[in-house]
Chains A and B, each alone.
Chain A
Amino acid sequence: MSTRYKRELMTYLLFDYEGIEEHLEKMAAKGWFLETPGNTIWKYREGEPAEVKYAVTYVPQASQFDPEPVAEQKTLEEFCGEAGWQKVGDFLQAQIYMNRNVNAVDIETEDAVRLEVIREAMQKSFVPANVVLTLLMVFNLWRGINGFFDDPLSHLSGYGSLLGALFLPIGAVLISANLIAYFVWVKRSAKSVESGGRCVSPRVVRALNKWQLPVILVYFVGMVAGIAGEGNHEAARYMVFYMIGFFGLVALLNATKNFMKKRGASRGKNIAVFVIVDIIGAFAMVAVVMWLTFSGGTSGMEEPDPYAPEVHETFLVKQTSGELEEPNIEYEVNEIKAEELFDWCLEKHLSHNIARGLAMEYEPGVDAGSNLWGADQAYYSDWFGGRWLLTKDNYIVEIWWADELTDAEKKQILPKLGIE
């Protein structure tokens, strides 16, 4: 009878040895024994359920790019073998051992020493990786916040855009939470071992981390559905293809690293190839994703009506944009449903237009006052064939290509856009 295998997503943080050990022991009790621990996916082999003991220890000198275990790993393996511990595998700096004697002496019997080794090991991979990720998220968050405050009407008028704007702060919190959790764990554990106690258990962050990926996936699916629901199918397709491309790139990089290891390449050479494949792969991925997103076209489909308005709406803002046939102008109408937001949205929209670098300056009442439009306020710029920003009640309206309009036509614009 052939042996069965199964794979599982590893959700434990690298320094959570206790969580990993408990999980592996539970799996063994159900008849699943760890065969290969990858960085994210772990492979199990089916066997007779058994009560066994697992231990996770760390070798700071180890690297995932080494063609074979370093001397320190081999020496540790011999020490552990003397005590009946059998090495199962390793991932990053973590070494996993198993002992069928549940009463065997633990591999680590002094937590002060264990904590020191873990801190040294985390400096090699966990801390730098999470610091870089956190900085990237914070940078993107800063850009996202700037983008939101620069053009709030676009973000507030679509649930997809609104969810997208929230994705960055949520992502930043989740990514930085891992780093913060580690430093809090180190501080509390150091205090404990200083007085002869043990390292503390990171149970809370373990529970939170377990739900991180499902939460992110559900949020992402909701965001894509929201964007697609608003009619922005290209953006939705782009996001889906980008996510598929991202995981494809990760799989390619792992395969490259393992291929180089099998070829016996040194750590330095493996890292160099990894970085080159990563850079080329990232550019290629973006190019392929862009091509897939925009190559759909409209062949075989009916030509859309050029005068049909495009509508995006949330409980905060309804945005209607399009083109009028007669007179021929382009427009964007923003209905601000929440009164309290009106002045802020107008202020941001005016400064957004100025900040676009198109040197547009809105001047109040340039064209013999705003009464020609029947608007409350009127702002003008000579870009795009005459651009006007008008306000009426709770509406903010922009009109392009308006220089050729007659006075009579100007009076008709707002009613034609449904604003009386």
Chain B
Amino acid sequence: MPREKFQTLTEQMFYILLCLRKECCGMDIMEEVGEITGGRVSVGPGTLYNLLEQFVQAGMIRETKVEGRKKSYILTQKGAVALREEFERLRKQAADYVRLVNGED
């Protein structure tokens, strides 16, 4: 069955929303995601641009400032809930792994 949009978040979606807990300019997110993950996760400019548009349409982030073509965003309550739910899902996955794999060891 096809997944509902943003029902689960990909890594890139997760880290973009994580960066937007504080007000942030869209273009700065590329660098910040790289810093948070130690270079493990990269968000391309095209993907970032499209995801920001989709998050705004889905009401998960909102624009806070527009300076020329530079826009700043911040997470909304809906976005915070989605981020939290994704974190819980990943935490349960990690816990299942620890319980089953480490338990065998």
Given contacts A75-B69, A78-B69, A113-B50, contact A83 B2 (CB under 8 A): no
A379 vs B84: C-alpha distance when bound (angstroms): 88
Interface of A: prevailing SS: helix
Residues of the A chain whose Cβ atoms lie less than 8 Å from the Cβ of B50? 113, 116-117
Chain A's nearest CB lies how many Å from the CB of B50? 5
- The bracket for how many chain A residues form the interface is 20 to 34
**Interface residue from B2, B26, B43, B70 paired with A194 (Cβ < 8 Å):** B2
Whether B56 sits at the interface, judged by CB under 8 Å, is no
Stretch binding the partner chain, chosen from A4-12, A100-108, A335-343: A100-108
Residues of the B chain whose Cβ atoms lie less than 8 Å from the Cβ of A57? 46
Whose C-beta in chain B lies nearest to the C-beta of A81?
Answer: B45
- The bracket for how many chain B residues form the interface is 20 to 34
A105 vs B39: C-alpha distance when bound (angstroms): 11
Whether B44 sits at the interface, judged by CB under 8 Å, is yes
- A108 touching B44, Cβ below 8 Å: yes
Whether A310 sits at the interface, judged by CB under 8 Å, is no
Chain A's nearest CB lies how many Å from the CB of B64? 16
- B44 touching A75, Cβ below 8 Å: no
Whose C-beta in chain B lies nearest to the C-beta of A56?
Answer: B46
**Interface residue from B12, B27, B47 paired with A82 (Cβ < 8 Å):** B27
Whether A114 sits at the interface, judged by CB under 8 Å, is yes
Whether A262 sits at the interface, judged by CB under 8 Å, is no
Whether A187 sits at the interface, judged by CB under 8 Å, is no
Whether B49 sits at the interface, judged by CB under 8 Å, is yes
Residues of the B chain whose Cβ atoms lie less than 8 Å from the Cβ of A110? 10, 12, 44, 47, 51
Whether B72 sits at the interface, judged by CB under 8 Å, is no
Whose C-beta in chain A lies nearest to the C-beta of B34?
Answer: A105
Given contacts A79-B26, A113-B51, A194-B2, contact A105 B44 (CB under 8 A): yes
- A114 touching B69, Cβ below 8 Å: no
Please, what's the 1-or-0 string for B47-58, where 1 marks a CB less than 8 Å from any CB in chain A? 111110010000
Whose C-beta in chain A lies nearest to the C-beta of B28?
Answer: A82
- A80 touching B69, Cβ below 8 Å: no
Residues of the B chain whose Cβ atoms lie less than 8 Å from the Cβ of A194? 2-3
What are some 27 contacts across the A-B interface (CB < 8 A)?
Answer: A55-B46, A71-B69, A74-B69, A75-B49, A75-B71, A76-B45, A76-B49, A78-B69, A79-B26, A79-B30, A79-B45, A79-B46, A79-B48, A79-B49, A80-B45, A80-B46, A82-B30, A83-B44, A85-B45, A106-B44, A109-B42, A109-B44, A109-B47, A110-B12, A112-B10, A113-B50, A116-B50
Q: Give B contacts to A, CB under 8 Å.
A: 2-3, 10, 12, 26-27, 30, 42-51, 54, 69-71
Top 4 closest A-B pairs, CB basis?
A109-B44, A79-B45, A107-B46, A57-B46
